[in-house]
Structure 1
Amino acid sequence: MFGKDFPQLNDDLLRAIKQTVDQSFLNFTRSYGDTIEWIFSPLAFLLNASERMFTNAPWPVVIAACVLVAWLATRKLSVCLFVASTLVLIGLFDMWENTMKTLSMILVSTLIAIVAGLPIGVLMARSDRVQRAINPLLDVMQTMPSFVYLIPVVMLLGIGRVPGLIAVVIYAVPPMIRLTNLGIRTVDADILEASDAFGASHSQKLWTVQLPLAMPSIMAGVNQTVMMALAMVVIASMIGVQGLGQPVLRAINSQYFTLGIFNGLAIVGIAMAIDRITQGYGARLQKHIGAQNGSR
């Protein structure tokens, strides 16, 4: 568009800027890398415990637990059958252990995203100033290429599952924040006025009115967070995250078609099962809240 005549920074100046930024970040990692690694050490414990729970449990127990969760969330036999058949096929095609490692990563990253994203979403809903300050950051997090997240994380923490977990959480948390904010902001003003008339405090109004009514939107945020975390699994395998992503990466490097397709289909199956469960639970919540509002 601009052509070769467009003015550019001097090569020496541009090189100096890049070197200054790179050296500053390198000095920071050398000075505080051990401290940052110690701060994130509980994540390693949590991830290891989750992985042991999934991989050491007998497969009938895992399938039964997943089917029970699907039934409690959706009350639909079709979803339960889909979850059970997906897990059975994954086991038959010898992808069980990698799938359990992937599920443990998804579970931990989703829990962290909820714990981190829910309070931030509440703060955004309560303050327009906070919303204006955080929205640009969320825009950057959602539009930044996922590979870029790996660079600073690896420089700070090296190669391993914890850096991969942090990259997955950073990539997956924006929908949780945005949809929590949206859900609370769209609560009916008449209901809020009624709670004020009954003398509810800010915390009482949040816990008894706003969060319950915003729950369908929050569950949509959980759904999107899980989907984005699954999308990051293959990319995170580049820095040592074990699971279904590593066979896919190996298939890309060795051009092994069936290895990549089977593990890719396993990721799709897990994504579809989780999507059905979370969407079904959100729909049930929406129906329950609508029935309560109608009874009033």
Structure 2
Amino acid sequence: MQAHDYLALGSWINDGVQYLTEHNGHLFDYAGNAIESFASAVEALLLSLPAWALIALATVVAWRRLSWRFAVFAALALSLIYALGYWPQTMVTLALTLSATCISLLLGVPLGIWAAKSPTLRNAVRPLLDFMQTMPAFVYLIPAVMLFGLGRVPGVLATVIFAMPPAVRLTTMGILQVDREQIEAGQAFGASGTQLLFKVQLPLALPVLMSGINQTIMMALSMVIVTSMVGAGGLGGEVLNSIQQLDVGLGFESGLCVVLLAIILDRTTQSFGR
């Protein structure tokens, strides 16, 4: 059954994106080049390091932050990824995830701090964050491709939009949950607003902030897999190929690599919030 277009909202959005493309193309070129340069640098760094060095580093971090059992798991998991032949794709996926996470935190944490200080902004941002979190992930790829074309850049941009809300929400929540008496104690010792923020509020809100970083990383990783549809590459590209070829084995192997990477990132980032 064909839907009746009583309100041409979709057409208005298409016209708006088309207008931005035609009249502000140079701005999107600058933004795209900056994102491309940053993501490429992270990817080149990870790919330049030998696999054994990254496996050793992950093992040491897992041992120091968690336990020797998880360190053994991390070593075996990453060694399995290498043995299966998916190490380059895993590094590309990790680079995309880290790039999108860094940009999300760079934008989301200051916005969360500002929202904690301003009830007006907090009330204005809340429905926007609801919209960003509930909109189907595939929808973000359409305007990103229209503005930046295919490749890594629209994938990172769509991932940032999808993964940034937890950083904003939990930054705001963490600061608002700081005990008022501790803030008053800081003020009694003559601390300025900036000193209160960096020496009292942010340190006390650190567990909640780390929870936000953890959620941002997990959402970024899930979205990076989806962005293979626009040519972002990585493990998502292998998952997409398995669907196109109806190759169950390829899908299982690439999916297993995603799961192992997600477990290592999740457990490790959670440990910093304790």
Q: 1:163 aligns with which of 154, 158, 180?
A: 154
Q: 1:21 to 1:277 in 2, by over 3 A?
A: closer
Q: How does 1:67-146 map to 2 (within 5 A)?
A: 67-72=59-64, 74-146=65-137
**Code of the aligned partner of 2:50:** P
| Structure 1, unaligned runs of 5 or more | 1-7, 284-296
1:44 aligns with 2:36: yes
Flag the structure with larger Rg: 1
1:60 aligns with 2:30: no
Q: Give percent identity, aligned residues only.
A: 42
Provide the residue aligned with 2:228 in structure 1.
237
1:149 aligns with 2:140: yes
Normalising by structure 1, report the TM-score: 0.88
Shift of 1:69: 3.1
| Structure 2, unaligned runs of 5 or more | none
**Code of the aligned partner of 2:203:** P
- Aligned partners of 1:236 and 1:245 also within 8 Å: yes
Q: Distance in 2 between matches of 1:253 and 1:136?
A: 37
- Aligned partners of 2:66 and 2:268 also within 8 Å: no
Q: 1:22 aligns with which of 11, 14, 24?
A: 14
1:272 aligns with 2:263: yes
Shift of 1:33: 2.1
Shift of 1:186: 0.4
Q: Per the alignment, in what secondary structure is the counterpart of residue 237 of structure 2?
A: helix
1:209 aligns with 2:194: no
Q: Distance in 1 between matches of 2:135 and 2:196?
A: 36
- Aligned partners of 1:51 and 1:104 also within 8 Å: yes
Q: How does 1:247-262 map to 2 (within 5 A)?
A: 247-262=238-253
Q: Distance in 2 between matches of 1:150 and 1:47?
A: 17
Q: Distance in 2 between matches of 1:84 and 1:98?
A: 18
- Aligned partners of 2:221 and 2:262 also within 8 Å: yes
Q: 1:84 to 1:151 in 2, by over 3 A?
A: same
Normalising by structure 2, report the TM-score: 0.94
Q: Per the alignment, in what secondary structure is the counterpart of residue 63 of structure 1?
A: helix
**Code of the aligned partner of 2:83:** L
Q: Distance in 2 between matches of 1:261 and 1:237?
A: 17
Shift of 1:49: 1.1
Deviation string, structure 1 residues 121-147 (Cα, Å, up to 9, x no partner): 101111111100100100000000001
Larger deviation, residues 196-205 vs 60-69:
60-69
**Code of the aligned partner of 1:234:** I
Q: 1:165 to 1:88 in 2, by over 3 A?
A: same
Q: Distance in 1 between matches of 2:120 and 2:109?
A: 17
Q: Per the alignment, in what secondary structure is the counterpart of residue 40 of structure 1?
A: helix
Q: 1:19 to 1:137 in 2, by over 3 A?
A: closer
**Code of the aligned partner of 1:166:** L
- Aligned partners of 1:43 and 1:162 also within 8 Å: yes
Deviation string, structure 1 residues 1-48 (Cα, Å, up to 9, x no partner): xxxxxxx97x5x646x65454234213212212321212312111111
Deviation string, structure 1 residues 42-99 (Cα, Å, up to 9, x no partner): 2111111111111121111111222233344x14222222211111000011111100
Q: 1:80 to 1:18 in 2, by over 3 A?
A: closer
Q: 1:60 to 1:21 in 2, by over 3 A?
A: closer
Provide the residue aligned with 1:282 in structure 2.
273
**Code of the aligned partner of 2:150:** I
Give the aligned length: 272
**Code of the aligned partner of 1:116:** L
Superposition RMSD in Å: 1.6
Q: Distance in 2 between matches of 1:247 and 1:79?
A: 27
